[in-house]
Structure 1
Amino acid sequence: MVDLSPDRLPVAVIGAGPVGLAAAAHLAERSVPFVVVEAGDAAATAVRAWSHIQIFSPWEFNTDPAARRLLADAGWDEPDASALPTGGDLVKQYLQPLAELPALAPHIRYGAEVTAISRLGIDRLRTAGRESAPFVLRLADGEELLARAVIDASGTWCQPNHVGANGLPAHGEQEAAAWINHGLPDVFGADRDQHAGRHTVVVGAGHSAANTLLALAELADTSPGTTITWAIRSADPAASFGGGSDDELPARGAIGSGLKMLVDTGRVTLAANFRTHAVRPLGGDPAHDQVELISRGPDGTEQVLTADRIVAATGFRPDYRIADELRLELDPIMSAPRALAPLIDPNQHSCGTVTPHGYRELAHPEPGYYAVGMKSYGRAPTFLMLTGYEQVRSIAAALAGDMEAAQSVELQLPETGVCSVTAGGEALALRLGLTRDQHEQLLHATAKHLGTSATASDAVLSAATELGIDHTDALQLAAYAAQMFDRPGAPGC
């Protein structure tokens, strides 16, 4: 007979990504029984999918305190707190070692996809005895697991938003799926042949779009015929350029500054006011045939873009279908827990201005169920891993009965306004594969050429040629540090 008393059943953590593993670390520290169920065959499956991308926040913002303590006890060689990891670095140097710790590894089940969650013997309508009934997690193979609580860190990676501007699939989008990449394609690796020497339209206005546009511009330097169009719904791309040199995360500011440079110098063609209404393949072979994107404005005005590839950098959304039998209270706009939604509304907040929050803001009318991490943010694109780590710290404390710790939520997030241009330039130089010395040499050489160049851009290109530095890389650095070149018309001004 199975013992169904709450203190005997484990807490079920769904997902072995950064936030799910952090939840496991906090539960392990507090000696709360747990099981992690992961649909993939290894930890951090989603992160592995964008392993080629460099994260704009340094290591200090990407690791969880409880996880660091457990790793330190095992002799972990902690990365430099100020270094900028790639997704692959995050897996290799942090998430994989964390998942392999004796305190976590025996409790992680891979290849275990959760298809539904309910209560034992109780559907969503029944109230009597609900709080004391264990949760039931049904797996894809039919097995069912019992749990005292559920921390749902399953994320949003498998649920990308559509290309259609109104949130619905564009007409023909499903038929054109073979022409569309979602998320962050590896344009220098596995996806290079799809973009080199071809025309790519990037749809979206967030950091994913900016990263892809910057990568495509670098590809264009070595692959003749590579052209890029950036399609955005708004009339002005300024919001996508971010805080620039005022951003407290230098690499985040550098992304925006670099993107502005691409547009200002014509290396990327901007298609503003582009509201994708339909997608139409112009043949049956995505390796050779093109595809059209048709925009239709409110007044019926149409724009047409013809492309070889489409990158849908349109974000992701949560999938709550596995929780249909639970009593959830989601904000009708954000698809986030109702109490959390106003704290993360992207119309009012960046990822650095989110109010600290924990188990109370993440609670639902279904006691013991918490969606955390990216999933908790619903449709908001402002999530930072550090936010998720504080979420699960608070929840683990609550589940352990330490309500004082659970209610004391603190979070120091980076925002705009306090960073120097020099530090940002160094961060961008490292992201581009340049050394600090090369960065300094470029600044000095550019200053030397300013007196004899028509524009700051020309001065930067002359300096780059002199030093053997890639022109696109050099212009990205100049765009970020434009205020250091006291000349009108400098890229990024």
Structure 2
Amino acid sequence: MNAPTTALPTVVIGAGPIGLAAAAHLAARGLDPLVLEAGPVAGNAVREWGHVRLFSPWSELVDPAAEKLLAPTGWRAPDAAAYPSGADWAERYLQPLADALGDRVRYGATVTGVSRLGRDRVVDADRAEQPFTVRLSRADGTEERLTARAVIDASGTWATPGPIGGDGLPALGERAASGRVSYRLPDLKDPAVRARYAGRRTAVIGSGASAFTALASLAALAKEAPGTHGVWILRRGISGSTFGGGEADQLPARGALGLAAKAAVDDGFADAVTGFRTIALEESGEQLVLVAEDGRRLDPVDEVISLTGFRPDLSFLEELRLELDERLQAPVELAPLIDPNQHSCGTVYPHGAKELSHPEQDVYLAGMKSYGRAPTFLAMTGYEQVRSIAAALAGDHEAAARVELVLAETGVCGGAGLFDEPGAQEGEAGGEAGGGCCAAPSTLQIGAGATVSGGC
């Protein structure tokens, strides 16, 4: 790059765990980061699921470069073996880290577009020599344009949950029923939220750890509020891997989620319906009826919790030359490593700048955003990504290519842990995969007293 370009900051989009870690690694390498956060505080998205515990302990949730940056401030690391809630993570680590970065973090700054200065995506001439231009909208509604030497998009996928429809589109009637559909794990400690689900039938759509958590939480509520019942809707069938790694999972709290979901079904607090791809939500009085592509209609429910995964918002990157996998919307070299049909969190090979590169030089998607629609993401993976990216931007290609991470294998991933109840198991938050099915529904037993519909 020419001298004027190298003097510019590297813009990091998002002041979440991975964005702030990226800033810490950049600063450690003598590069100037500028973190743009749409919300008013650090970890704004994390705080929205603050009532949920992670299935990773503190030892896996604090980035090494961030810890070094925090040390001079008097920050004290939490108990390495403890499992924080989302609120703990934000308040005890993310906000102090953002505070340590000081004016290198800007709040109320929503990125609305990224391009090359004076070049749309069609123009080739001198493209690589031009800095990036970043358009943003401030909290007061005014607009601003910044220039940057590089861009790391760590904005995540939290703001764009998947719809209920089995074809990836909103089901017919889904938008009209929005008042009775939640795309997030409800906080059943909140009296108003608790009243919404107590004594009612709730459909839980999804096959990942967030769905496990919702089922277990509704089962706990059912013990106190008779009439509370879950209807677990899976797009695929039940198999040996449906409930994750269980006791064999090297992340014990993660494995416990699947066991808790299985117990909810076994104990009669929820029914499981498989091979069900929703095409419509129809009103039945004050209730909703879910209709499948094959014509099946379920008994009416009062509420729907849709946990069908998340997807990246690529709209503000459309003027950049990104090379994304046609299925996962992840970088093409990364996609085979994270394909949820083949991998869980622990079997994803650690990766960095090489796998995250695009035809547009010096732009990277990092963290959950880099995984596109795949749910197999862990914080440690993101920390390794940004360590490598910062090394690459600093010209240390040996460090960028080096692997410095070993992950625990087996089990499910990308989900949320059980709510902060006494004695509850704990787990990590993120998105779920919808799953698929390859055969017509059948019926099978999974434990005493529980009859469920099964598939492939």
Confirm or deny a common fold (TM above 0.5).
yes
Q: List aligned pairs for 1:80-119, cutoff 5 A.
A: 80-101=79-100, 104-119=101-116
Question: Which of 352, 370, 377 is the equivalent residue of 1:383?
Answer: 377
> What is the Cα deviation at residue 431 of structure 1?
6.3
Q: List aligned pairs for 1:225-244, cutoff 5 A.
A: 225-236=227-238, 238-244=240-246
Give, in whole Å, the separation in 2 of the partners of 1:216 and 1:343: 34
Structure 2 CA distance for partners of 1:226 and 1:398, relative to 1, 3 Å:
same
> What is the Cα deviation at residue 434 of structure 1?
3.1
Structure 1 segments, 4+ long, off by >4 Å, are 428-432, 488-492
Question: Which of 131, 136, 152 is the equivalent residue of 2:133?
Answer: 136
Give, in whole Å, the separation in 2 of the partners of 1:181 and 1:169: 13
Q: Which residue of 2 aligns with 1:257?
A: 259
Give, in whole Å, the separation in 2 of the partners of 1:314 and 1:28: 37
Q: Which residue of 2 aligns with 1:121?
A: 118
Q: List aligned pairs for 1:154-173, cutoff 5 A.
A: 154-173=155-174
Q: Which residue of 1 aligns with 2:391?
A: 397
Deviations 1:238-259 (A, max 9, x none): 4331111000011111111111
Q: Given residue 298 of structure 2, which amino acid in structure 1 is its aligned partner?
A: V
Task: Please state whether the residue corresponding to 1:228 is helix, strand or coil.
Answer: strand
Deviations 1:97-135 (A, max 9, x none): 11111xx12111101000111111111111111111010
> What is the Cα deviation at residue 62 of structure 1?
1.3
> Which sections of structure 2, spanning at least 5 residues, go unmatched?
412-416, 426-445, 451-456
Q: List aligned pairs for 1:46-61, cutoff 5 A.
A: 46-61=45-60
Deviations 1:379-428 (A, max 9, x none): 100000100000000001111121111111221111139xxxxxxxxxx9
Q: Which residue of 1 aligns with 2:279?
A: 277
> What is the Cα deviation at residue 281 of structure 1?
2.8
Give, in whole Å, the separation in 2 of the partners of 1:123 and 1:433: 55
Structure 2 CA distance for partners of 1:365 and 1:183, relative to 1, 3 Å:
same
Is the Cα–Cα contact under 8 Å of residues 188 and 219 in structure 1 kept in the other structure? Answer: no
Q: Which residue of 1 aligns with 2:453?
A: none
Q: Which residue of 2 aligns with 1:184?
A: 185
Give, in whole Å, the separation in 1 of the partners of 2:157 and 2:362: 21
Deviations 1:276-328 (A, max 9, x none): 11012335xxxxx211211122xxx4232311110001110001111111101
Is the Cα–Cα contact under 8 Å of residues 294 and 305 in structure 1 kept in the other structure? Answer: no
Q: Which residue of 2 aligns with 1:203?
A: 205
> What is the Cα deviation at residue 358 of structure 1?
0.5
Is the Cα–Cα contact under 8 Å of residues 274 and 303 in structure 1 kept in the other structure? Answer: no
Structure 2 CA distance for partners of 1:430 and 1:185, relative to 1, 3 Å:
closer
Give, in whole Å, the separation in 2 of the partners of 1:185 and 1:239: 26
Q: List aligned pairs for 1:385-464, cutoff 5 A.
A: 385-416=379-410, 432-434=421-423
Task: Please state whether the residue corresponding to 2:231 is helix, strand or coil.
Answer: strand
> Which sections of structure 1, spanning at least 5 residues, go unmatched?
284-288, 418-427, 437-487
Is the Cα–Cα contact under 8 Å of residues 180 and 302 in structure 2 kept in the other structure? Answer: yes
Structure 2 CA distance for partners of 1:430 and 1:130, relative to 1, 3 Å:
closer
State the superposition RMSD in angstroms.
Answer: 2.2
Counterpart check, 1:294 vs 2:295: no
Is the Cα–Cα contact under 8 Å of residues 52 and 419 in structure 2 kept in the other structure? Answer: no
Structure 2 CA distance for partners of 1:215 and 1:13, relative to 1, 3 Å:
same
| Greater helix fraction, Structure 1 or Structure 2 | 1
Q: Given residue 169 of structure 2, which amino acid in structure 1 is its aligned partner?
A: L
Q: List aligned pairs for 1:294-373, cutoff 5 A.
A: 294-297=291-294, 301-373=295-367
Higher RCO, 1 or 2 (CA under 8 Å, sep at least 6)? 2
Structure 2 CA distance for partners of 1:491 and 1:368, relative to 1, 3 Å:
farther
Give, in whole Å, the separation in 2 of the partners of 1:106 and 1:491: 59
Is the Cα–Cα contact under 8 Å of residues 4 and 134 in structure 1 kept in the other structure? Answer: no
Counterpart check, 1:37 vs 2:36: yes
Give, in whole Å, the separation in 1 of the partners of 2:239 and 2:302: 23
Give, in whole Å, the separation in 1 of the partners of 2:240 and 2:224: 28
Structure 2 CA distance for partners of 1:212 and 1:132, relative to 1, 3 Å:
same
Q: Which residue of 1 aligns with 2:270?
A: 268
TM-score normalised according to structure 2 size: 0.88
Give, in whole Å, the separation in 2 of the partners of 1:397 and 1:274: 46
Structure 2 CA distance for partners of 1:400 and 1:19, relative to 1, 3 Å:
same
Is the Cα–Cα contact under 8 Å of residues 266 and 448 in structure 2 kept in the other structure? Answer: no
Structure 1 vs Structure 2: percent identity of aligned residues?
Answer: 53
Structure possessing the higher radius of gyration over alpha carbons? 1
Q: Given residue 280 of structure 1, which amino acid in structure 2 is its aligned partner?
A: E
Give, in whole Å, the separation in 1 of the partners of 2:318 and 2:69: 35
